[in-house]
Every structure is written in C-alpha cells, then in structure tokens.
Structure 1
Amino acid sequence: MLIFIFIYKTINYLIFIKYRYIYPYNTENDGFKYNDTFTHSSWLLFIKNRLEVVKDLLKEDGLVFIQCDDNEQAYLKVLADEVFGRENYLNQVSVKMKQTSGASGGGEDKRLKKNIEYILIYTKNMNSENGFKKFNDFYDEVELFEYLETMKQLKKSWKYTRILKSVGTKEHIKTLTDGSGEPIEVYTHKGVVLEPIKKVMEEENLTEAECYLKYFDKIMRDTNAQSSIRTRVMEGVTGDHELLSIEYVPRSGKNKNKVTTVYYKGAKCDQIAWLSDIAVKRGKYIFKLEKAGTFWDGFPLNNLTKEGGVLFPNGKKPELLLQRIIEIATDEGDLVLDFFSGSGTTAAVAHKLGRKWIAIEQMDYIDEITKTRLKRVINGEDGGISKLVNWNGGGSFVYFELKRYNQAYQDGILAATSKGELDSIYNEMAQNAFLKFWFDKKDFEREESFRALSLDDRKVLLLQVLDENQLYLNHADMLDSKFKVTQEEIALTDKFYGAPNV
C-alpha cells in the first residue's frame, strides 16, 4: 500500500483547482456516514473551515459547487457569502433528487415531501481580469413532437418547416475579409432543391415524424440574424443569388478556430439556421435543446444506489448530474477536486470526460467501494454516462493514504478487548501521542476512579484526551525520528509534491 504523509498547508501545493464539488448535510437520519448530526454552530464552523481552504485552492476563474438539502441551506448561503463575498455568488440550482410518487406515512404527512436539493455556485474573484467569464453552454432536452404539440396549443408558429434537399453545385465568386483581415471565401450555388416539409411528406408518403427523422440534417429556416459577417457578405456581393455560402474560420464562439460553412438565401442574404443546431437525434427520437436554467431534473434516481457497479445506499449522486456540472464548469484537461468523494461519482465522471481529478475520502469504505468503482471505470465499465460519452476504459490513478498518527491510537483503543490492552496503548500515548492541551498526565494517573471504569468507559475517556487535529502526521514533523517515518515514505511524499521537504 502506498503511504502519503499529510502536509498541513496543502494550499501551497494544490493551487490549480478550477472546480470544486462539495455536498455537506446536517441531518439526523439520512444515513450519511460522516458526522452528520452536528449542533448547528459546530456544523457552521466545520463548513466554514473547509470553505476557507476551498477559496485558497481555487484558480481565479475557478468555481465551487456546494450541494445540500434545506436543513442548513439558508445558513450555508450566508456563510458562503461571507467566505467568498456576495459579489462572487453566481447561482442557486434546485435539483430533483427524490421521486414523489406514491403515498407515505409518518412525519412527512405533516409537511410537504422533500424531493429537492440545492447547489450553491460561487467563483473566486468575479472582478479579476483573469476571473470567471461564463459557463459553458448547456441545455435541457424536450422531445420534439411534444414541443410542437405545445406550440400548436399555444398557437405559436414553428419556423423549421423546409428541407434543403440539395445545395446544388457551388462556384467561387469572391474573397472577402473579416474584421481581423482573415479571408471569407464566398460561393454561389446552382441547382438548389428547397421544398416545404408538407410537400415532401405528400410526395414520399411520410408521416411528419418520419420526415423529420429522414431529413433531420437538412431541415432549416431562414433568419435575418444580425452579424458582422453577414453584413460584410451583403455589402460585398452583388447580383441576385438563390443561395450563397461562405467558408471562414471564426475567432470566437462554438466553432472557434474551425473552418465553418454558413449559407445565405435570396437577395436579402437571409441566414439559414439548421434544426440540427437546436436539436439532437437519438435513434427514433428528436429532442429540442432548451437553454437550461436553475431547476434541474430528469436524472435517473431508480437503482441509483447500484450505479457504477458498487452498492452505496445513501448520498450517491447520479453520474448525469455530475456530468452536467463538470461540463458547464470545466474544459478537458482541467482539474476537478472532490473532498467528500463518497462512492467516487465525481472522480468516475471526471475520468470519463477527460478531466484530471483528485478525490479525498476519510471513511474506511474507500477500499471496498471508491477504489473498486474507479478500477471498474479504467477497465471500461458501461454504466452511468459511459454509453453517452462512448467510454471504453483507459487511464490510471494513484491511491495514497495519509500517514496515521493519533488515528492509529484511536483505532487501537476502539479495537482493544481488555483493560490490559488499553493500559499498553495509554502508556505509548502518554509518551508519543498528541494529547489535548488540558491533559495532565500526573493528575490523570493519580485518578483512582479511572481504574474502576468499565472497558467501554475507559475507551471513551482515552479517546477524549487525544487531539483530533493530529490524527495524521503533519509534514513539518516528517523528519522527526520519534514518528518513525521510513525513508521510502519520505521519498514518496517529496516525489508526490515535486519539491524537497522544507
């Protein structure tokens, strides 16, 4: 097993984080295995400490996503405003995380059933020159013919009603330039075939759905979209042309730095817009893309506990949810960090999407669940988003554990089966462990009542005197011989951080 030694001021080493995903709750019965029953004030302090580290870790244009339910949501928002600054608050997203169908008894009869969780989104420095600019585009999907039926009921017109069956033959007529002086090649087309969908349906005996599916990539509308490129074409081309096209390389937008073709129709140079630009075809279905807002649903919640090939009954997030977050917040090669990684959903999705990732987990199920899931990802498991992103496996990850210190004493105390074992552990603790500042060894050992305590009560008392802030060995103590750090562990730590111990 690889051993990793904890470096107290981690922020000196992890400064390239662009995205953080956190899901802290403070509930009594959701099965979450962290200490999830803090008092309100203790919970706020617990989260505040972590948010302050998050802010240090983020890049200037980085984003943090914090998911919670409504137990502490309002207080968390105020706390996050304090840490990040209200000017760096971006959005609160509501996510449907539970089904509401069926009847239920008990306490939920007194209140509306909870089926929504919340994601708070902050950036580090909105006003910085290198700060956050915008989310990547992301969309909700609506089945096209359901959408068209709604349009009919609302008596609204639908513009994508013609098929450009053929663009004919093209002939180069002119070279224009864009605002940067780069070329715009202009072509005219002859033998163009443009027909209404209704006519094609009649001629080919097709239903509306069959026609849309067959000609999906050729269905269009024209628009007088205002753009500098269109203006240059209108001013630079004379004569009457049934159809023009241009080829150029955009300097911004979704086709940045790619050779792009745009078509213009008629004397007014109305720009052609394609159905395929606002919709996607999957098998026998077409889905219209709607710009997404701050209510997210449609994530698979049935059998979620088994997603990724590992059983994780509570707190697991759908891969599709993490896909949306990662895709709107990062680009390929960016670094994603999740320090409540649980079953490893964030890491699994980041890996499949070509992002770098760091996943941190303190619970002992990491061996059986988190690592197992990530190995399955590398081996090409086909669950979650795998089929959507054509995931076939590959890549690697390195697993480290922190060098235990007080944690080792804690484990020994909990595992002890006799008072004699506890006495041996205590004797070693008294010499080498980090103990609470108020602990007085002489007074403690003179206390006769300790000898009379039961085994379980002795365990409680010994656990109380251990300093929980020193569960793992700090980097500053790595070279102290009393902590028995091996040369192999020292070398590994230095190699991991790419810097010598200082």
Structure 2
Amino acid sequence: MDWVEGTSGVIRFEAERRAEGNTTGLLVRGESADALRALLDGELPVPEDSGLRGAVQAVYIDPPYNTGGAFADYSDKVDHELWLGMLRERLHLLREALTASGTLWLHIDDSEMAYAKVLLDEVFGRENLVSAIVVENNPKGRQLGKFFAGSHDHLLVYARDIRTVRLEPASAEAVNPADFPKSDERGPYRLLPLRNTNKKFHPGSVPTMHYGLWADGATGRVAADPFEGAIEVFPVFGDGSSAVWRWSAALVRERADELLARVVRGRGGERLDVFQVDRLHGERKKKLRSIWSAAEVGSSDSAKAELKKVLPGRQIFATPKPEPLLRRVLEAATEPGELVLDCFAGSGTTPVVAERMGRRWIAVELSSATVDAHLLPRLEHEGARFEVWRETSLAR
C-alpha cells in the first residue's frame, strides 16, 4: 500500500475541474502525505486563498484502524511498523497546519489505539492531551467478536497548544429539561446550594469565602448587607461544620436577585440556607461528557442509513461516520468560516458536515474509486462549491 511507504521525487497536482465562483472547499485525490506537503508548501490552493500552515482550526482524521480486515473500499491490514510510520509522518504535517488555538481529533478503535496515543504524545506533547473520548458506535455490540461484543471506538483529542486552545465542549442538546423541576412565571428552574459542597473548600483553605449573608426566610430575600427582617446566615455542611460560599460578597451584591433563602431541615433541626435560582433558558448549554452514546452522535448503522437516503441504489461505503458525530466535533472546535481538514476523507462525512455548517474545508482521499462513488456524489448532493485536484505524476 503506497500510503504507508512514504514517497520521494516530484509530486504534481493538477486541477481536475474548478467550481464556478468562490469555493469553500478543496477535494484532493491523492496520497495524504503528498497532499499535506503540497498544501503546506503552497503548491495547492487553500479555500479563500489562505495558506495552510497554521491556518487549520480543527483536524478530524479517521485513518485505517489496521484491524487485519479487508473492506470493499480499502484494505485494513498492514505491517504494524509501517502503520506507525504512516501515522507519525502525517501527524507531524497536521501539527504544522493547525492554528495555535486548534485541535486534532483522531478516531481509532482498540486495534492500534494505545500506539496512536503514544504517537500523539510524542508529536503533540503529553501536556496537550485534551481528552480520550469513548464513542459508542454499535449499541447492540458486535456479536461475532471473539470475546466481548465490541460497541465503541475512541476519539483522541489533542491541542496544538493547551495554553491557547479554543474549545467549546458544551451543547444545548446535552441539557435535560427534567433537571429543572420547578417553575414560575419566568419558566423552569432548579435550586442549587450557594454553599460549596466540595469539602476541599472550607474556611481553612479559602477563608475569604466564609462570611455572613443576610436572609429573610419569609420573603426569600438575600443580600450581602443587613436589611430589616433579615438574619445573618453562614455556610455550613450537613454535619454542621463550617463551609464556604461559591460566590463572593461582591458577586452577591451584583446578582442578589438570583438568590433565594429557604428553611431547610438538617441534623441539627431547621435552619435558614441560601440557594441559587438556576434557570433553564434558550441559550443554556451543558458540558459534554467523555462518553458519547449512539443516541447522541449516531452509530455505524445510522451512518449507513444516512447514505442510503442521499445516494439511493448505490453501494454504501463500508465504514462511514455518522453526521451527528462530526457536527458535535465541529461545534466544539470551530466557528463558521474557519478551516477544517480531513486527510482520510473516506465517504466524505467531514466535508459534507463542514459545508452544511458554514466551515471551509479540505478533504484528501487516496482512492479514486471512493472519490467517484461516494465523495463527489455526496458533495454535489449538498450543493457544495469546491475545487477538485488530483495527483498526476510521481517520479521515484
């Protein structure tokens, strides 16, 4: 397989066709390392005429997993050392392409996951690991597996520089309305203790956050300063030991209308406590968990079903990625107009979702058959505006 052996000599890419007007994407038929070098050296055009070096906000790659199997669209069995060399070379090139705030997302299964993680540590630095996400891709489990019924992949996320990375790993879809059981004229809400419930934080560790608030249990009013009818309330744990507040007195003064005093019953009997009124609203988001279920991001079966709708009657790509998965990645890692890169494009889920979300994109795919059968039809169905280039010669 040429893609694991590296190349030498002169590589030339030529335009196979050019879209009319401004383009938002670039599709390259060719070997991924050759294409990345040509892009980094300015020999291939980047959408909107920007150079590639330091320009990519998010890289998503789904390289061959090296499982030892063979699929209709590609072979997945090579020597382990060759696979490592292939991936190492491309990771170095991809790191050069990333912005200082960018991230790389590598999708892999158990076959080479541990080695991929070590390679990423080597190329990006261990300190730049953002997360190792578990992605459920087969809720039923693969019953033909030799031992356990495999049901997940891994998504290894690394920052170009953890000190300057920009991510928004939160989603409105992750918010459960059932978590806001109370309601008033302003809508659903929940009450959160203003007391810090983590016992690592106490008057000995953060003394400035242990102070008295003034509260009226009859009206619910809370303030940082005394008022008529109020009593002073200090934060305590359930066992009666001293605690600290989550908010400073200055923040209480600024947002006192978000606090509520209520009588609670504890081990020592009734006492007055202070709560934050946490409301559900349209802009609400929740931090994503490190396990992504198929119900949230789709599965192998749902991805194939998506392709059947778009390309009816065609042979379906063997291992497509579901569109909700890429949408979640790009929502977390990019803003509209930013550049996304996938150099193992396969069935084209990354450029399709990037196009739909208003991101610029670059997709590289080695197999001309895969480009013709899957990538081009999907992108054309999407109405994407893109250029196509192909590798035309290789002097060894």
TM-score, normalised to structure 1's length? 0.50
Give the structure 1 partner of residue 205 of structure 2: none
Cα 1:218–1:237, aligned 2, differ >3 Å: closer, same or farther? farther
Give the structure 1 partner of residue 62 of structure 2: 23
Separation in structure 2 between the aligned mates of residue 266 and residue 291 of structure 1, nearest angstrom: 25
2:169, 2:288 within 8 Å by CA — same for their partners in 1?
no
Give the structure 1 partner of residue 52 of structure 2: 14
Residue by residue, what CA displacement relative to the aligned partner does 1:443-474 show, whole Å, maximum 9, x if unpaired? Answer: xxxxxxxxxxxxxxxxxxxxxxxx3xxxxxxx
The aligned amino acid for 1:138 is: S
Separation in structure 1 between the aligned mates of residue 151 and residue 326 of structure 2, nearest angstrom: 18
1:139, 1:292 within 8 Å by CA — same for their partners in 2?
no
Q: Note the residue ranges of structure 1 that are not aligned, 5 or more in a row.
A: 148-159, 166-216, 242-260, 280-288, 379-395, 407-433, 435-466, 468-502
Give the structure 2 partner of residue 43 of structure 1: 83
Separation in structure 2 between the aligned mates of residue 91 and residue 31 of structure 1, nearest angstrom: 30
Cα 1:312–1:265, aligned 2, differ >3 Å: closer, same or farther? same
Give the structure 1 partner of residue 97 of structure 2: 57
Cα 1:123–1:403, aligned 2, differ >3 Å: closer, same or farther? same
Q: CA deviation at 1:235?
A: 5.4
Give the structure 2 partner of residue 294 of structure 1: 290
Q: CA deviation at 1:33?
A: 3.2
Match runs of 1:378-457 below 5 Å: 378=383, 396-406=384-394, 434=395
Give the structure 2 partner of residue 272 of structure 1: 277
Separation in structure 1 between the aligned mates of residue 36 and residue 283 of structure 2, nearest angstrom: 49
More strand by share: 2
Q: Paired residue for 1:354, among 358, 370, 385?
A: 358
More helix by share: 1
Cα 1:7–1:66, aligned 2, differ >3 Å: closer, same or farther? closer
Cα 1:354–1:237, aligned 2, differ >3 Å: closer, same or farther? farther
Cα 1:306–1:163, aligned 2, differ >3 Å: closer, same or farther? closer
Q: Paired residue for 2:112, among 72, 76, 93?
A: 72
1:17, 1:58 within 8 Å by CA — same for their partners in 2?
yes
Separation in structure 1 between the aligned mates of residue 187 and residue 177 of structure 2, nearest angstrom: 16
Q: CA deviation at 1:32?
A: 6.5
Match runs of 1:27-426 below 5 Å: 27-29=67-69, 31=71, 33-100=73-140, 104=143, 108=145, 110-127=146-163, 131-138=164-171, 141=174, 160-165=180-185, 218-223=187-192, 225=194, 234=223, 263-264=257-258, 271-276=276-281, 291-297=287-293, 298=295, 299-301=297-299, 302-308=301-307, 309-310=310-311, 311-364=315-368, 365-378=370-383, 396-406=384-394
SS at 1:340 equivalent: coil
Give the structure 2 partner of residue 211 of structure 1: none
Q: CA deviation at 1:60?
A: 0.8
Separation in structure 2 between the aligned mates of residue 41 and residue 76 of structure 1, nearest angstrom: 12
Q: CA deviation at 1:89?
A: 1.6
Give the number of the structure whose alpha-carbon radius of gyration is greater: 1
Q: CA deviation at 1:239?
A: 7.1
Separation in structure 2 between the aligned mates of residue 133 and residue 398 of structure 1, nearest angstrom: 27
Q: CA deviation at 1:327?
A: 0.9
- Matched residue count: 290
Cα 1:223–1:350, aligned 2, differ >3 Å: closer, same or farther? same
The aligned amino acid for 1:300 is: G
Separation in structure 1 between the aligned mates of residue 111 and residue 40 of structure 2, nearest angstrom: 30
Residue by residue, what CA displacement relative to the aligned partner does 1:322-347 show, whole Å, maximum 9, x if unpaired? Answer: 11111111122221111111111111
Separation in structure 1 between the aligned mates of residue 371 and residue 325 of structure 2, nearest angstrom: 22
SS at 1:366 equivalent: helix
2:365, 2:371 within 8 Å by CA — same for their partners in 1?
yes
Residue by residue, what CA displacement relative to the aligned partner does 1:125-167 show, whole Å, maximum 9, x if unpaired? Answer: 224xxx215443236648666x7xxxxxxxxxxxx454322xx
User: Bigger shift: 41-50 or 322-331?
Assistant: 322-331
SS at 2:298 equivalent: coil
2:167, 2:332 within 8 Å by CA — same for their partners in 1?
no
2:317, 2:374 within 8 Å by CA — same for their partners in 1?
no
Cα 1:235–1:363, aligned 2, differ >3 Å: closer, same or farther? same
Residue by residue, what CA displacement relative to the aligned partner does 1:9-42 show, whole Å, maximum 9, x if unpaired? Answer: 4224302101001112112225173452210001
SS at 2:69 equivalent: coil
Cα 1:277–1:303, aligned 2, differ >3 Å: closer, same or farther? closer
SS at 2:341 equivalent: strand
Cα 1:138–1:262, aligned 2, differ >3 Å: closer, same or farther? farther
Q: CA deviation at 1:292?
A: 2.5
Separation in structure 2 between the aligned mates of residue 118 and residue 240 of structure 1, nearest angstrom: 57
The aligned amino acid for 1:347 is: P
Separation in structure 2 between the aligned mates of residue 330 and residue 45 of structure 1, nearest angstrom: 29
Q: CA deviation at 1:236?
A: 8.7
Q: CA deviation at 1:399?
A: 2.2
Separation in structure 2 between the aligned mates of residue 271 and residue 294 of structure 1, nearest angstrom: 27
SS at 2:82 equivalent: helix
Q: Percent identity?
A: 26
SS at 1:21 equivalent: strand
What is the root-mean-square deviation of aligned Cα atoms in Å? 3.7
1:140, 1:292 within 8 Å by CA — same for their partners in 2?
no
The aligned amino acid for 2:17 is: L
TM-score, normalised to structure 2's length? 0.63
Cα 1:352–1:133, aligned 2, differ >3 Å: closer, same or farther? closer
Cα 1:65–1:142, aligned 2, differ >3 Å: closer, same or farther? same
